[in-house]
Amino acid sequence: MDIQRLQALLEGVKGQRIDVNSAIEVLKQLPYYDMGFAKIDTHRHLRTGVPEVIFCQGKRIEQIITIAKRLVVDNCNIMATRAEKEVFEAIQQEIEDAQYYDLARIIVVNPKPLPKKVGQIAVVCAGTADVPVAEEAAVVAETLGNRVEKFYDVGVAGIHRLLDQRQKIAHANVIITVAGMEGALASVVAGLVDKPVIAVPTSIGYGASFHGLSALLTMLNSCAPGISVVNIDNGFGAGYQAHQINHLCAAPQED
C-alpha cells in the first residue's frame, strides 16, 4: 500500500465515507500479506519509497503471476527482474499494462504514472557482451524516476572511446560502470571524475576470469577512491543504489 492510498483510507474513515470494519479489513494486510508461499512486504513503499521487487529466477510462473496481481491491488509500480520471455507472456495475459525489456530481462507494470525523472545517472559499459547487465541497471534506474544516459562499448582496451565521452559522463550525479574480463573500467572512470562510481563486475570473460570473480576482485582492490562495488552481474543493485544517490542530489536542500 502506498502512502496516498493509506492517506485516502484514513481520510475516508474520518469523513465517514468508509466504515471502521472495512478499514480494519484493509489494515489487516499490513505490514505484510501472507500468501502461503510468499509474504508480500506491503509496507516497503512506505519505508523506502520503492515497492517490493519480484526476483523471478527460481520461482514458478504461477507464483510470479500471483505476486504481481497482489501488488497491482496495492496500485504499485511493479518490477520483476531476471524474468524470461515466457514469464512475461504469462503475466501479459493477466495484466495488460506489462512491458518487457528483453535485454535487461525485466518486466515493468505501471498501474499509476511513473515518477517524474530527475537528475542524471550515467551507465558506462565496457563491451557489448556486458550490455544485458548494463541494461538491467539502466531500466531499474529509469523506472524509479531517474534520467539515464548510456555509454556502451567504451572499455579500456580502446581507451580513446572512453576519453571521447569523459565530459558527458562527468555531468552525471552518479556513474555506474559495468565490466567483465579484468574489470579495470571502474578504476579508470573513477580517476577521471569527481562523482561516486558504482562498479558492477560481470561474468563475461575467458576461463581465468572465473565467471566474474576476477573483475570483482579488481574492483574491490581499486586504488581509485570513490568506488562502491555490487555483486557479480547485479545490475539491479547498481541501478537501485544509483537511484538513491541521484535523488539525494536532486532533492531541494533546506537551509
Domain CATH code at residue 158: 3.40.50.1970
Same domain, 31 and 51: yes
More confident position, 138 or 54: 138
How confident is the model at residue 29, as a pLDDT? 60
Domain hosting residue 134, numbered range:
118-250
68, part of any domain: yes
44, part of any domain: yes
- Domain boundary residue, one of 91, 109, 127: 109
How confident is the model at residue 209, as a pLDDT? 87
Same domain, 164 and 197: yes
Q: Is the pTM value of this prediction over 0.85?
A: no
Q: How many domains does the chain have?
A: 2
- Domain boundary residue, one of 54, 76, 109: 109
Same domain, 90 and 189: no
**C-alpha cell of 19?**
466504515
Same domain, 93 and 195: no
**C-alpha cell of 99?**
512491458
Bridge partners (DSSP) listed for residue 122: 149, 175
Whether 255 shows a pLDDT value over 50: the answer reads no
- Read off the pLDDT of residues 43-96 as tens digits, 9 standing for 90 and up: 777 777 777 888 999 999 999 988 888 887 766 678 899 999 999 999 888 887
Same domain, 150 and 69: no
Same domain, 35 and 76: yes
145, part of any domain: yes
More confident position, 33 or 167: 167
Tell me the average pLDDT across 183-194. 93
Same domain, 242 and 124: yes
199, part of any domain: yes
Q: pLDDT class for 251, splitting at 50, 70, 90?
A: low
- Read off the pLDDT of residues 215-226 as tens digits, 9 standing for 90 and up: 999 999 998 999
Same domain, 129 and 105: no
Same domain, 158 and 78: no
Same domain, 130 and 218: yes
Same domain, 104 and 123: no
More confident position, 70 or 185: 185
How confident is the model at residue 205, as a pLDDT? 86
255, part of any domain: no
Q: Return the minimum-mean-pLDDT range out of 26-35, 90-99, 198-207.
A: 26-35
- Read off the pLDDT of residues 232-242 as tens digits, 9 standing for 90 and up: 999 999 999 99
Work out the mean pLDDT of the chain and round it to a whole number: 86
How confident is the model at residue 25, as a pLDDT? 66
65, part of any domain: yes
- Domain boundary residue, one of 59, 82, 109: 109
More confident position, 7 or 57: 57
Same domain, 181 and 97: no
